[in-house]
Amino acid sequence: MLIIESMQRLMVMNNIPFTIEEERVLREMKIGKISSLKEMPEQNIARYIKKAIETGYALIDAKAVYRTFKLVKKDGSLPGLEQAPGFFFGKKIAEILNKCDYVTLMLTTIGPALPDMADKLQKTEATDSFYLEHVGGWMADYLADRVEDKISHEAAKNGYGLSMRYSPGYGDWTLDAQPKLLEILESEKIGVCLSDTLIMIPRKSVSAAIGWEPK
C-alpha cells in the first residue's frame, strides 16, 4: 500500500537549516583544484568570498513547498495533472515523464533579502555584489537539491526512483508553465510571485517537476 504524504497535503518547509560550503561556492565560481578559502593564492579574493558567505548566513531565509500528484496520461495527449491537463507540454519533459506514475512539483527560495542586498551593492560596491550573487546562486541550487533529497526518500519508501529534475524555461517547456505551477503550489505561502515577464520574485528561487518512475 502506497503511503505518499505529499499527495495528501501541501508540504511547506520554513527556516530550512543550511551550511554554506566553501568548496561548493568555489565550484559555483568556476574556481577549481582547491577546496577551501585558506588554499587560495589570491587572499584578497578569498576575503571577498568569506565576507559574502558571512553575509549570506545573515540574509538567507530558506523556504520550500512541494506536492505530489498522480500523473495523467492519455493516448494522443500530453501528460498532465487532473487539475491541469497537458501541463507538461514540452517534448523533453513529456519524454522524461513517459514511464512515471507520479510527479512532484516543487518550489524553493532563499528569500528576498540577499538578492535585494546584491542589487543595492551593485551601485556602490560592485565586487561585493558579484560575490554575493554567486553565494546566492549556489544556495538556490543547494536548496533545490535538499528538497529533492526529501522527495527521493519518500519515493524510495514506496518503490520508486526519481527522474531528472526539470524546470520551466528549459527546452520547450517554456516559462508559460510558471503561473499554473505557482498557483498549484500556493507559492504565496513562501513569498514567491511572478513578474510580468514570468520571472520569479525573489530571484534565486527554483521551480521544477520531478517524476516518480517504478523501480
- CATH number of the domain within which 198 lies: 3.40.109.40
- Only one residue has cell 491541469, namely 84
* Angular region, 186: left φ>0, alpha ψ -120 to 50, beta rest: left
What are the residues whose beta carbons fall under 8 Å from the beta carbon of 69, sequence distance 6 or more? 7, 81, 82, 102, 103, 104, 105
Report the chain's terminal Cα–Cα distance, integer Å: 15
Q: What integer best gives the mean pLDDT of the chain? A: 95
Residue 27 has pLDDT above 80, yes or no: yes
User: pTM for the complete prediction?
Assistant: 0.93
Residue 173 has pLDDT above 80, yes or no: yes
Grid coordinates representing 18? 543550511
Residue type, 50: K
List C-alpha distances in Å: 176 to 168, 169, 188: 8, 8, 18
Which range of residues forms the domain containing residue 48?
Answer: 5-214
Counted domains in the chain: 1
Tens-digit pLDDT profile for residues 55-106: 999 999 999 999 999 999 987 789 999 999 999 999 999 999 999 999 999 9
Residue 171 has pLDDT above 80, yes or no: yes
The residue ranking higher by pLDDT, 74 or 118, is 118
